[in-house]
Structure 1
Amino acid sequence: MRNKIDYGIDLGTTNSAIARMENGVPIIKKSDTLKDTVPSCVHFNKRQDVLVGDTAYNVMKNDNARALKTLEKGKINSFIEFKRTMGTTHTYVCPNMNKDFSSEELSAEILKKLKSYIQDENISSIVITVPAKFLNPQNEATMQAAKLAGFKHVELLQEPVAAATAYGLSSKNKDGFWLVFDFGGGTFDAAILKSDEGILTVKDTDGDNWLGGKNLDDAIVDQIIIPNLQQNFAINGVLSDSTQKEVLRNAVKFYAEEAKIQLSFKDSHNILSNLGDLPFEDDNGDEPEIDVLVTQKDMESVVAPIFQKAIDITKELLKRNNLKGSDLGSLILVGGPTYSPILRRMLKEQITEKVDTSVDPMTVVAKGAALFASTISISDEVKETTRDKTKLQLDIKYEATTVELDEMVNLKVLKEKTTGTFPEKIYADVVRYDGAWSSGKKLIGEKATIVDVLLVEGRSNSFEINVYDEVGNKLECQPHQFSILQGIGGLDGMQVIPYHIGIAKFFHTEDKDLFLPAKGLEKNKKVPATGVINGLKTRSAIRPGMIKDIIRIPIYQGDFNAEGTNPVLNNFIQEVIITGESLPALLPEGSDVDITIKVDRSQLMKFSAYFPLLNHTEELEIEIMKTEPPTEELLTQEISKAKRTAQKINANEVAMELEALEAQLENEKGSADGKMKILDGLRKELLKLDRAQKSAEWPKVEQALKEAFYELEDLIEKINENDDEGNLNMDKVEAHVQEYKQKIEHVIKDKNIKEAKELTSEIERLDFELRNAVTGNAMDAQLLLHLNDNFGSFHWKDAAKAKQLINQGMQMTTAGKTDAIRPLLVQLIELMPENEKQTLR
Structure 2
Amino acid sequence: MRDTIDIGIDLGTTNSAIALAEGDTVTVIKNVESQDTTPSAIWMPRAGEIRVGAKARTRVENDPDNTAAEFKLEMGLADVARNFAKAGVKLTPPQLSAEVLKSLRDSATRFLNGEAPTAAVITVPAAFALNQNKATVEAATLAGFVPGSPLLQEPTAAAFAYGLQDTSDRAYWMVFDFGGGTFDAAVVNKRDGELRVLHHAGDPYLGGKLIDWALVERLLAPAAAAEFGLTDFQRDNRIHRRNFARLKAAAEEAKIALSGIDSTSVLVEVDTPGGDTETFDYTLTRDALDRVAEPYYVRAINLCREAMRENGLSPDAIDKLLLVGGVTLSPGLRERLADPAEGIGIELETRLDPSTVVARGAAVFASTIRHPAPLAAAPAKGEYAVELSYEPAVTTTTTTVAGRLRAGRDLDWTGYSVVLANPEGRPPFRTANIALNRVGAFATEVDLDERRTSRFIIELIDPAGAPQKLVPNTLSITHRTETFGGARLAHSLGIQLADKTFSPLLRKGAGVPTTAREMFRTSHTLLRRDDEAMIRIPVVQGERARATRNRPVGQLTIRPVDLRMDLPSGTEVEVTFEVDASNLVTVVADVPLIGAQFEAEIDLTSVLTPSSDVLTRQLAEAEGRFEELQRSAELPDVDDRLRRLEAEGTLPTVREQVRAAATDAGAAATAEDRLRDFQAELDDIDDMAELPRRTRELLDLLAEAGEMVQQAGAVRDEQELTALREEAQHAIDDRDLGAIDSVAERTVIFMARLHRRQPGWYEDAYWSVVQQPGLLPPTAEADRLVREGREAINKRDQRELERVVQQMIRLLPRDERETFIGLTK
Query: What is aligned with 1:712?
Result: 705
CA distance in 1, matches of 2:320, 2:771: 72
1:83-482 correspondence runs (5 A): 83-88=72-77, 89-119=79-109, 120-151=114-145, 152-236=147-231, 238-239=233-234, 242-272=237-267, 278=270, 280-282=271-273, 286-349=276-339, 350-379=343-372, 382-384=374-376, 392-404=384-396, 406-416=397-407, 425-431=416-422, 435-443=426-434, 445=436, 446-457=440-451, 461-467=453-459, 469=461, 475=469, 477-478=471-472, 480-482=474-476
1:666-685 correspondence runs (5 A): 666=659, 670-685=663-678
Is the partner of 1:289 in helix, strand or coil?
strand
CA distance in 2, matches of 1:431, 1:793: 85
What one-letter code is carried by the residue in structure 2 that aligns with 1:634?
A: V
Any conservation in 2 of the 1:198–1:403 contact (CA below 8 Å)? Answer: yes
What one-letter code is carried by the residue in structure 1 that aligns with 2:421?
A: V
What one-letter code is carried by the residue in structure 2 that aligns with 1:514?
A: T
Q: Gapped runs of 5+ residues in structure 1?
A: 65-75, 507-511
Matched pairs, number:
794
Q: What is the Cα deviation at residue 8 of structure 1?
A: 1.8
Query: What is aligned with 1:523?
Result: 508
CA distance in 2, matches of 1:391, 1:111: 37
Is the partner of 2:319 in helix, strand or coil?
strand
1:483-498 correspondence runs (5 A): 483-491=477-485, 493=486, 495-498=487-490
Q: What is the Cα deviation at residue 175 of structure 1?
A: 1.0
Judge which range, 432-441 or 821-830, deviates more. Answer: 432-441
Q: What is the Cα deviation at residue 357 of structure 1?
A: 1.1
Any conservation in 2 of the 1:7–1:373 contact (CA below 8 Å)? Answer: yes
Of 576, 581, 584, which aligns to 2:556?
576
Any conservation in 2 of the 1:3–1:378 contact (CA below 8 Å)? Answer: yes
Is the partner of 2:175 in helix, strand or coil?
strand
Say if 1:227 and 1:785 are closer, same or farther in 2 by CA, change over 3 A.
closer
Any conservation in 2 of the 1:409–1:453 contact (CA below 8 Å)? Answer: no
Q: What is the Cα deviation at residue 580 of structure 1?
A: 4.3
What one-letter code is carried by the residue in structure 1 that aligns with 2:246?
A: A
CA distance in 2, matches of 1:485, 1:621: 40
CA distance in 2, matches of 1:748, 1:554: 34
String of CA shifts for 1:242-279, please: whole Å, max 9, x gaps: 22334312123332233223322334433345xxx55x
Any conservation in 1 of the 2:182–2:205 contact (CA below 8 Å)? Answer: yes
CA distance in 2, matches of 1:517, 1:243: 43
Any conservation in 2 of the 1:392–1:422 contact (CA below 8 Å)? Answer: no
Q: What is the Cα deviation at residue 818 of structure 1?
A: 1.3
Is the partner of 2:333 in helix, strand or coil?
helix
CA distance in 2, matches of 1:609, 1:556: 17
Any conservation in 1 of the 2:400–2:445 contact (CA below 8 Å)? Answer: yes
Judge which range, 709-718 or 5-14, deviates more. Answer: 709-718
Query: What is aligned with 2:774?
Result: 793
Q: CA RMSD in A?
A: 3.2
Instruction: Give the share of equivalent positions with the same residue, in percent.
Output: 28
Any conservation in 1 of the 2:235–2:241 contact (CA below 8 Å)? Answer: no
Q: TM-score, normalised by structure 1?
A: 0.87
Query: What is aligned with 1:744?
Result: 728
Say if 1:636 and 1:340 are closer, same or farther in 2 by CA, change over 3 A.
same
Say if 1:617 and 1:742 are closer, same or farther in 2 by CA, change over 3 A.
farther
Say if 1:699 and 1:180 are closer, same or farther in 2 by CA, change over 3 A.
same
Say if 1:589 and 1:153 are closer, same or farther in 2 by CA, change over 3 A.
closer
1:554-565 correspondence runs (5 A): 554-559=538-543, 562=544, 564-565=545-546
String of CA shifts for 1:347-372, please: whole Å, max 9, x gaps: 22222352111122122211211221
Query: What is aligned with 1:31?
Result: 31
Any conservation in 1 of the 2:181–2:208 contact (CA below 8 Å)? Answer: yes
What one-letter code is carried by the residue in structure 1 that aligns with 2:297?
A: F
Q: Gapped runs of 5+ residues in structure 2?
A: 634-641
Say if 1:351 and 1:163 are closer, same or farther in 2 by CA, change over 3 A.
same
Query: What is aligned with 1:780?
Result: 762
Is the partner of 1:20 in helix, strand or coil?
strand
Judge which range, 739-748 or 48-57, deviates more. Answer: 739-748
Q: What is the Cα deviation at residue 190 of structure 1?
A: 0.9
**Is 2:61 the counterpart of 1:77?**
no
Is the partner of 1:361 in helix, strand or coil?
coil
CA distance in 1, matches of 2:8, 2:510: 24
Query: What is aligned with 1:832?
Result: 812
What one-letter code is carried by the residue in structure 2 that aligns with 1:431?
A: N
Say if 1:488 and 1:475 are closer, same or farther in 2 by CA, change over 3 A.
same
Is the partner of 2:557 in helix, strand or coil?
strand
Q: What is the Cα deviation at residue 587 of structure 1?
A: 4.0
Q: What is the Cα deviation at residue 824 of structure 1?
A: 2.1
CA distance in 1, matches of 2:607, 2:276: 42
What one-letter code is carried by the residue in structure 2 that aligns with 1:372?
A: F
Say if 1:361 and 1:825 are closer, same or farther in 2 by CA, change over 3 A.
same
Any conservation in 2 of the 1:529–1:599 contact (CA below 8 Å)? Answer: yes
String of CA shifts for 1:12-67, please: whole Å, max 9, x gaps: 11111222332453333321222222111111122421111223223435424xxx
Any conservation in 1 of the 2:448–2:479 contact (CA below 8 Å)? Answer: no
CA distance in 1, matches of 2:154, 2:170: 21
Query: What is aligned with 1:689?
Result: 682
**Is 2:523 the counterpart of 1:539?**
yes
Q: What is the Cα deviation at residue 831 of structure 1?
A: 3.0
CA distance in 2, matches of 1:557, 1:45: 40
What one-letter code is carried by the residue in structure 2 that aligns with 1:695?
A: M
Is the partner of 2:757 in helix, strand or coil?
helix
Is the partner of 1:517 in helix, strand or coil?
strand
Query: What is aligned with 1:638?
Result: 618
Query: What is aligned with 1:60?
Result: 60
What one-letter code is carried by the residue in structure 1 that aligns with 2:250?
A: Y
Any conservation in 1 of the 2:530–2:560 contact (CA below 8 Å)? Answer: yes
Say if 1:412 and 1:218 are closer, same or farther in 2 by CA, change over 3 A.
same
CA distance in 2, matches of 1:597, 1:391: 43
Any conservation in 2 of the 1:133–1:206 contact (CA below 8 Å)? Answer: yes
CA distance in 2, matches of 1:99, 1:758: 57
Any conservation in 1 of the 2:321–2:348 contact (CA below 8 Å)? Answer: yes
Any conservation in 2 of the 1:333–1:361 contact (CA below 8 Å)? Answer: yes
CA distance in 2, matches of 1:474, 1:648: 82
Say if 1:420 and 1:165 are closer, same or farther in 2 by CA, change over 3 A.
farther
Query: What is aligned with 2:755?
Result: 771
Of 792, 811, 815, which aligns to 2:795?
815
Q: What is the Cα deviation at residue 586 of structure 1?
A: 5.0
CA distance in 2, matches of 1:489, 1:434: 22
Any conservation in 2 of the 1:428–1:468 contact (CA below 8 Å)? Answer: yes
Any conservation in 1 of the 2:492–2:508 contact (CA below 8 Å)? Answer: yes
Q: What is the Cα deviation at residue 106 of structure 1?
A: 0.6
Say if 1:433 and 1:21 are closer, same or farther in 2 by CA, change over 3 A.
farther
Q: What is the Cα deviation at residue 196 of structure 1?
A: 1.0
Q: What is the Cα deviation at residue 340 of structure 1?
A: 2.4
What one-letter code is carried by the residue in structure 1 that aligns with 2:230?
A: I
What one-letter code is carried by the residue in structure 1 that aligns with 2:514?
A: A
Q: TM-score, normalised by structure 2?
A: 0.88
Q: What is the Cα deviation at residue 174 of structure 1?
A: 3.0
Q: What is the Cα deviation at residue 167 of structure 1?
A: 1.2
Is the partner of 1:125 in helix, strand or coil?
coil
CA distance in 2, matches of 1:819, 1:297: 81
Judge which range, 97-106 or 51-60, deviates more. Answer: 51-60
Q: What is the Cα deviation at residue 774 of structure 1?
A: 5.0
CA distance in 2, matches of 1:237, 1:813: 78
Q: What is the Cα deviation at residue 413 of structure 1?
A: 4.1
Is the partner of 1:221 in helix, strand or coil?
helix
